[in-house]
Copies of this chain bind each other. A is one copy, B any other.
Amino acid sequence: MNSEQLITGILQKQQRAIARAISVVENRPSSALPLLQSIFPHTGKALTIGITGSPGAGKSSLVDRLAIHYRQTLDNYVGIIAVDPSSPFSGGAILGDRIRMQALGLDPKVFIRSMATRGNLGGLARATTDAVAVLDAAGYDKIIVETVGVGQDEVDIVKAADVCVLVLVPGMGDDIQAVKAGIMEIADIFVINKADREGVHRIEKELESLLSITERSDTWVPPIIKTVAIQAIGIQELDSAISSYCEFQQKRDNAKFEKRKHVSEQRIIEILRERLLAKALSKALSENELTLFAKEVASHKRDPYSIVEEICARLNL
């Protein structure tokens, strides 16, 4: 499949072309540039939904049920990107024994992909955004980005979505506060999943009091939706909440544009950071030399800061 065939394939929603393109943005960002430039004019139509929450909150089931809902009620094309930064070593078991493999995996209008960081060059947020762009260009109507937990990368990923959903569960320990602290300001909708368990009332009260002291940049009041994802309870309500937020955004002058501008700024910086490092490594630092420098630092012969200055000087920076 050459580059032109790849682009044609994406625009025709061919899953094989989409999968190939995402592998390229994930593993060979430099060679993905022409591809991403070509598809850029076709992007911007999908609704992207970011879903995050701590391990054990049942995000995967919720995402699966929401995808099924969009398939059944709207006949939407649905893309799912499951970001799993915790598996840089073992590879993700994220597509394990879950309903998505049974109900969703065979649906030709559903595309599921698991992303994980590989190697040392980072760029998970950038790679995820690019993967979303591929699905967006292909004409997928809804793109759900699911992230495990709390890292900065994941906050960045969720922030880039059109609507952010934070999933909580009853009966978590005190540390859940730490999770919430980081993401309260960016969540547009809160979901209390496993709402058939004890402790729903308590976590709802906690959440309401946290929300009352959270400052948002707009007048939206984030709703709290109760779900039991594995029984498909509350999914319609979640869909309605997502729609309401989108209508709210559209009514506000420039609100959506302001958000996209902010996201674009982040994106330029993220791509710039990655490209600069890639160029510096290819132009001013061979792998051998990096090993030699690392030896000098490890044996305390030289500090890493002066080495970095030397590399920057080679690039006339």
Chain A residues close to B by CB (< 8 Å): 33, 36-37, 40-41, 43-44, 54-57, 84-90, 92-94, 117, 120-122, 124, 148-155, 172-179, 181-186, 257, 260-269, 271-273, 275-277, 279-281, 283, 285, 290-291, 293-295, 297-300, 303-309, 311-312, 315-317
Contact = CB atoms under 8 A, between A and B. Distances in A.
A307 B311 CA distance: 24
A57 to B, nearest CB: 8
Contacts of A33: 305, 309
Nearest to A282: B317
Q: How many copies does the complex hold?
A: 2
Given A37-B303, A150-B55, A317-B315, A268 B308 contact: yes
Contacts of A315: 315-317
Lowest 3 CB-CB distances: which A-B pairs, in order? Answer: A151-B151, A86-B182, A56-B173
Main secondary structure of the interface of A (DSSP, over half): helix
B150 A149 contact: yes
Contacts of A152: 85, 88, 117, 122, 124, 151, 153
Nearest to A185: B89
Given A277-B273, A283-B317, A85 B151 contact: yes
B86 A276 contact: no
A249 to B, nearest CB: 14
A184 B91 CA distance: 12
Contacts of A182: 85-90
A210 to B, nearest CB: 10
Contacts of A36: 303, 305
A260 B117 contact: no
A275 B308 contact: yes
Contact of A276 (B41, B173, B263, B317): B317
Contacts of A181: 86-87, 89-90, 92-93
Contacts of A174: 56
Given A86-B151, A88-B152, 4 more contacts: A87-B181, A265-B294, A268-B297, A315-B317
A261 B295 contact: yes
A240 B274 CA distance: 42
A122 B124 CA distance: 13
A92 B273 CA distance: 27
B178 A84 contact: yes
Contacts of A183: 86, 89
Contacts of A175: 55-57, 148
A94 B267 contact: no
Contact of A37 (B185, B276, B306): B306
B305 A176 contact: no
Contact of A150 (B41, B86, B173, B295): B86
A272 B90 contact: no
Among A151, A267, A300, A307, the most chain B Cβ lie within 10 Å of the Cβ of A151
